[in-house]
Amino acid sequence: MKIAVLPGDGIGTEIVAEAVKVLKVLDLPLEMESAPVGGAAYEASGHPLPEATLQLAKDADAILFGAVGDWKYDKLDRPLRPEQAILGLRKHLGLFANFRPAICYEQLTHASSLKPELVAGLDILIIRELTGDIYFGQPRGRRTAVDGHFPGAEEAFDTMRYSRPEIERIAHVAFQAARKRNKKVTSVDKANVLETFQFWKDVMIEVSAQYPDVELDHMYVDNAAMQLVKAPKKFDVVVTGNMFGDILSDEAAMLTGSIGMLPSASLDKNNKGLYEPSHGSAPDIAGKGIANPLATILSAAMMLKFSLNQPQAAARIEAAVQSVLAQGLRTADIWSEGTTKVGTREMGDAVVAAITTTTKTIKS
Ligand code: NAD
């Protein structure tokens, strides 16, 4: 099983190193090869997604990705900015379905900014469409306005669009995921204002006819943002477009205690996937050794489950994460009174130790 390891920028290198360490103790036939991506690749070769990196990703069975970006690249032309690397990988590899489970571990109910009773036992799944919407729609750019409120003024514009097959395929992904859970899909849209999302809603309703066992409801995105902090446990599977999903999944991350806890999987139609934490490269804490590696470690577990058909190995990682949390170990972002603060590397070591201990117990 060949894994392309793309650490990227900022804390990306620190957290991916911990996930790789964890994968290595599992005793699986994993072949891991690294390549630069994002700002690191721009520095090395003048492009955020060099051909060799893209080829490695294409040839691999799965991709483990850290994060890209740094404010120092904000002045570069858009095609050369680090973030274009992740957008390019999603597009070139057809990674249209993004899974972001938001699970609040029992030990972290107090790390959430919400009242413990609102998040205790939380287990929701946000499914974000990843290759369409305003992020990829053409045309886009800057020009002189010919109409609008200020004709003749400089303006910028993007295009929000979704085709029927794009909506249908993400709808099937959501309904099938809900079948394995609590059989409820909430489709989040802005159908009251946007034509694109009235179409989204219509297609969702059509596809739902094929899944009579799954309940479908609809929510406007502004209400969904409110309900996620008011009563998050009433959701099961949330399916939405690229931009709304980007925002709502960060909001959902905070329900779990920290964005440093939220893994993600981005899958193509054959379940080949790119696995990355939901957060960015966190330049504010990069190089300090304090980033939480658990979202990346849990992303590696998702990789074993979804793309490499190793559910038992995935379960071992998840159990090890539970175990280190139960031991009271916390990185700064999830630390609270009475727990032990550890750095990135110590947290990775603790997960490795928890896996090794269980392995020894099973063998003896
Ligand atoms: P961010 O997610 O990097 O950071 C937001 C906040 O969360 C920061 O305070 C950061 O310190 C904290 N944080 C993030 N991950 C953490 C972790 N593992 N442990 C502890 N704290 C953590 O978002 P941002 O600051 O808006 O963006 C920084 C850069 O990352 C930008 O260049 C942005 O474009 C890029 N970005 C990349 C991706 C990606 O690679 N997929 C996603 C989002 C943002």
pLDDT digits (tens, 9 = 90+) for 280-290: 999 999 999 99
Q: How far, in Å, CA of 160 to CA of 324, rounded?
A: 43
Asked if 349 is an active-site residue, the reply is: no
Q: How far, in Å, CA of 185 to CA of 63, rounded?
A: 28
**In contact, 123 and 235? CB cutoff 8 Å:** no
Q: Which atom of ligand 1 is nearest to the CA of 276?
A: 41
Which residue has a Cα nearest atom 34 of ligand 1? 69
SS (H, E, C) the chain: CEEEEEEECCCHHHHHHHHHHHHHCCCCCCEEEECCCCHHHHHHHCCCCCHHHHHHHHHCCEEEEEECCCHHHCCCCHHHCCHHHHHHHHHHCCCCEEEEEEECCHHHCCCCCCCHHHHCCCEEEEEEECCCHHHCCCCCEEEECCCCCCCCCEEEECCCCCCHHHHHHHHHHHHHHHHCCCCEEEEEECCCCCHHHHHHHHHHHHHHCCCCCCEEEEEEHHHHHHHHHHCHHHCCEEEECHHHHHHHHHHHHHHCCCHHHCEEEEECCCCCEEEEECCCCCCCCCCCCCCCCHHHHHHHHHHHHHCCCCHHHHHHHHHHHHHHHHCCEECHHHCCCCCEECCHHHHHHHHHHHHHHHHHHHHC
User: What pLDDT shows up at residue 256?
Assistant: 86
Q: Which atom of ligand 1 is nearest to the CA of 38?
A: 40
- Fold of the CATH domain 97-135+163-265: Isopropylmalate Dehydrogenase (3.40.718)
User: What pLDDT shows up at residue 359?
Assistant: 67
Q: What residue segments make up the domains of the chain, in order of their start?
A: 1-96+268-364, 97-135+163-265
User: What pLDDT shows up at residue 360?
Assistant: 66
Asked if 250 is an active-site residue, the reply is: yes
Q: At what angle do helices 311-326 and 344-363 cross, to 10 degrees?
A: 120
Strands 141-144 and 215-220 turn out to be unpaired
Residues in the chain with pLDDT values less than 70: 359-364
User: What pLDDT shows up at residue 336?
Assistant: 86
Whether ligand 1 lies within 6 angstroms of the CB of 67 is answered as yes
Which residue has a Cα nearest atom 27 of ligand 1? 280
32: left (phi over 0), alpha (psi -120 to 50) or beta: beta
Q: How far, in Å, CA of 222 to CA of 227, rounded?
A: 9
> If you measure from the C-alpha of residue 182 to the centroid of ligand 1, how many angstroms do you get, rounded to a whole number?
31
Whether ligand 1 lies within 6 angstroms of the CB of 68 is answered as yes
Q: Which atom of ligand 1 is nearest to the CA of 66?
A: 40
User: What pLDDT shows up at residue 6?
Assistant: 98
> If you measure from the C-alpha of residue 346 to the centroid of ligand 1, how many angstroms do you get, rounded to a whole number?
21
**Closest by CA position to 12, among listed 46, 36, 33, 30:** 36
In words, the CATH class of domain 1-96+268-364 is alpha beta
Select which of 59, 217, 222, 269 is catalytic. Answer: 222
Which residue has a Cα nearest atom 17 of ligand 1? 260
Whether ligand 1 lies within 6 angstroms of the CB of 283 is answered as yes
Q: Scanning the structure block, which residue is given the tokens 């305003």?
A: 134
> If you measure from the C-alpha of residue 265 to the centroid of ligand 1, how many angstroms do you get, rounded to a whole number?
17
Q: Candidates 243, 279, 292, 342: which one to mutate for ligand 1, based on the most atoms within 8 Å of Cβ?
A: 279
Asked if 135 is an active-site residue, the reply is: yes
> If you measure from the C-alpha of residue 10 to the centroid of ligand 1, how many angstroms do you get, rounded to a whole number?
9
**CATH topology identical between 1-96+268-364 and 97-135+163-265:** yes
> If you measure from the C-alpha of residue 259 to the centroid of ligand 1, how many angstroms do you get, rounded to a whole number?
8
Select which of 135, 162, 211, 275 is catalytic. Answer: 135
**In contact, 126 and 102? CB cutoff 8 Å:** yes
> If you measure from the C-alpha of residue 264 to the centroid of ligand 1, how many angstroms do you get, rounded to a whole number?
14
Q: Candidates 91, 130, 281, 294: which one to mutate for ligand 1, based on the most atoms within 8 Å of Cβ?
A: 281
User: What pLDDT shows up at residue 362?
Assistant: 57
